[in-house]
Structure 1
Amino acid sequence: MQVSALSRLSLFVCFVLLSVPPLRADEPPPLLDRIDRSSFTVSGLSSGAAMAVQIGVAHSSRVGGVGIVSGPPYLCAQGFVTRATNDCLVLGRERLRELFGPLFGLSLFSSGERDIDTEDLVADTRKMARQRRIDPVDGIARQRVWEYRGEKDGVVGTKASLAQHDFYRSLGARTKRAAPRATPHTMPTGDPTQGACDSTDEDFVSGCDFDAAGELLRHLRRKPSARAEETDGQWYALNQADFVPSGPTDADATRRALGLAESARVFVPRRCTEERCQIHVALHGCKQGMNDASYRAFTEGAGYPRWAGPLKLVLLFPRVRAIEPFERGPWDSIGNPLGCWDWWGYTTPGNLYGYATREAPQMRTIVNMVDHLMRSH
């Protein structure tokens, strides 16, 4: 029997679709009866780096290390999206107007870098600790911090990056700044198949001859001589609505209002089902959680899974989605159109600094997922 060209094409398309594993895994999650329940580490890119810093500061008694790729310092936005975009970033007025509307085209918004008062940020952090909104700052001095910003980064400027470094140094953290390289605002990898190392790479995971994930993870785990291996383990998904803070509405409605995607991916290397491992939370940047292709580029292509086995890490990849302007009501004219983690307050309107405390709803969701993995036995 002859097969028509259309039938052959249909068969090929079906084969391709079936050969791509779904984001939701049907297999039951593996048992993690030897997981380290005393601490975890966290890292991120861009807004994910900002969230990683917030988790590290707010939960400093539990977080042993923070990896930062192109992120602003703690409390940089001071609770205002205008300050986030104008003081902490260097996107330029026209780009801000394109993203957030005509308000950001006003002359009071500049495209240059502004000085950031690190002493003020440190003072506010200490005050929040005294108010018990975050853990005591003594915990920050016990953390290992790895920082990187590319020389061609056109989003996070040099002043914000230096302020972040000074913030950690002021609080006694053990910091390591990776040597600058000519990379843009992206997650640099050593994999040339991840795309060009320039601003045209729209999934923000790029082949830059530099394995940022490997560098930061080896530093946080104190294993500088570790070598990456072929990925060997199991992926599965967590329903993020199961971990959002309880409220007056149903959990899925709360998840959507917080800008959280339906699920987060977890990778468990084979050896972590038999040996003691630690949890590492890896947070994508803006836009990277808005579609499955970009989210996969970060979870699978940024380099983390290749280090999970050698460094004995269970990887958690939380995911945030976009919130369109006015999606949540007439009061929300800005929303979160680029799918960024909350580092200026869109999840805690009217609560100054609420987005950066232990009670911040996105942060509580992430920590709840960490606690769930720690209890998975």
Structure 2
Amino acid sequence: MRLSRRTSVLALLAGLIASSAYAAEKLPSFKGDINQTSVSGLSSGAFMAAQLQVAYSATITGAGIVAGGPYYCAAGLIANTSICMGQVPFVAPNPALMVSAAQGFAALGQIDSLDNLKNDKVYIFSGTDDSVVKQVAVDATASFFAYAGVPAENLLYVKTVPAGHAFITPSFGNDCSANAGPYISHCIKDGTGYDQAGAILQHIYGTLKAPVTTLSGKIVEFDQRPFAPAISSMAPTGYLYVPKSCADGAACKVHVAIHGCLQSAAAVGDDVYSRTGYNNWADSNDIVVLYPQVNVSYTIPFNPQGCWDWWGYTGSNYA
């Protein structure tokens, strides 16, 4: 099987949980609970989060999809990406076709059985002012997961916030309606700053302890190169947030937070891995947060905006 972004991220996850070596340049080992693994992402990272949730539904217990279209929407063709982003008038993604494709992959043993989705939690978000991935595309994501078997009580779709194309925080980032870098914005929902990281994690894991204001843990840089070949355009360095409790040996959950296009550390510095709010929730709830990174590439694969693969530039097995 050709190595894809999907397999690269799962290799990182496996290394995080199982690695026995600890060195500054290597991925450290912690007591990660494989049955308490979840994923979220924005934009191309949201498409990737959907791919991981569907392909590894037996392992990944829940997903947060912020401004992303449904699984296998592009069907391996870059020409379909505009439809999958809701950019083609009067032509919306067809989630029923994508469920059929996923069922076919599962029948061939290429992905996990969709039956596992009955036990998983999925959070979906689309801002009303998002001009990049429009709501018609994200509506199809919600329909996909409903058709694929996620129970209504496990599926949360937030679609009334006047947000642009961004991950949402209570106070950091652009004004709510912005569609611009660093693609992090602050918005008000129900009269208070909207904490999207908390909304995602609590939908997946249930009621959690309140987030801390002062972090006990630290950001750990690690070498991603053992987990993917250079041609994959994975960045040399990835990041973890490790609460002190997890560093001290506590059994911890693992959340994989996946940046969007033009949003890697090379593009926006530490904005995603330090300022989106995940770490504050992780610190008080024994969660290690993995922030994998993909780079801009102008060679093969051609990836000029540093996007995760949701249309097939890494090969036919991308989904």
TM-score bin (small chain): 0.7 to 0.9
1:152 to 108, 123, 129: 129
- Opposite residue 186 of structure 1, the aligned amino acid is A
Partners of 1:27 and 1:308 in 2: CA distance: 23
Q: Residues 59-78 of structure 1: matches in 2 within 5 Å?
A: 59-78=56-75
Q: 2:226 aligns with which of 242, 246, 249?
A: 242
| Residue 298, structure 1, aligned to residue 272, structure 2 | yes
Alpha-carbon distance between aligned partners in 2 of 1:179 and 1:198, rounded to the nearest angstrom: 13
Q: Which residue of 1 aligns with 2:6?
A: none
Query: Hey, what does 1:363 align to over in structure 2?
Result: none
Match of 1:140 in 2: 117
Structure 1 residues 1-377: aligned runs within 5 Å: 32=30, 34-84=31-81, 86-90=82-86, 111-112=88-89, 114-173=91-150, 174-191=154-171, 193-199=172-178, 201-208=180-187, 209-223=193-207, 226-229=209-212, 230-244=214-228, 254-255=229-230, 257-272=231-246, 273-289=248-264, 291=266, 294-324=268-298, 327-328=299-300, 335-348=302-315, 351=316, 354-356=317-319
Q: Deviations for 1:47-92, whole angstroms, at most 9, x for unmatched residues?
A: 00100110111111100001111111001111111101x211245x
Between Structure 1 and Structure 2, how many residues are aligned?
Answer: 287
Q: AA paired with 2:178?
A: S
Cα distance in structure 2, aligned partners of 1:345 and 1:44: 18
The residue type paired with residue 53 of structure 2 is G
Q: 1:119 to 1:195 in 2, by over 3 A?
A: closer
**Structure 1 position 232, deviation (Å):** 1.7
Give the Å deviation of 1:42.
0.4
Aligned-partner Cα distance in 2 for 1:60–1:28 = 27
Shift of 1:27: 9.4
TM norm structure 1: 0.72
User: In the TM superposition, what whole-angstrom CA distance separates every residue of 1:105-157 from its partner, at most 9, and x where no partner exists?
Assistant: xxxxxx42522222111111100100111111111111100111100011112
Identity percentage of aligned residues: 31
Q: Using a 3 Å threshold, how does the CA distance of structure 1 residues 29 and 135 change in structure 2: closer, same or farther?
A: closer
Which one-letter code corresponds to 1:171 in the other structure?
A
Distance in 1 (alpha carbons) for counterparts of 2:312 and 2:25 = 37
Structure 1 position 200, deviation (Å)? 5.9
Within 1, Cα distance between the matches of 2:259 and 2:219? 17
Distance 1:78 1:295, change over 3 A: farther
Residues 286-344 of structure 1: CA deviation (Å, up to 9, x unaligned): 0001625x1411111111111102222101000011122xx12xxx7xx2111110000
Q: Which consecutive unaligned segments of at least 5 residues does structure 1 have? A: 1-24, 92-110, 245-253, 357-377
Kept in 2: contact 1:88–1:157 (CA 8 A): no
Q: CA deviation at 1:238?
A: 1.9
CA gap of 1:117–1:211, structure 2 versus 1, over 3 A, is same
User: Cα RMSD over matched residues?
Assistant: 2.0
Question: 1:31, 1:341 → 2: CA distance?
Answer: 25
Distance 1:29 1:159, change over 3 A: closer
Contact 2:162–2:177 (CA under 8 A) maintained in structure 1: no
Give the secondary-structure state (helix, strand or coil) at the position aligned to 2:76.
coil
Deviation >6 Å, runs of 4+? 27-30
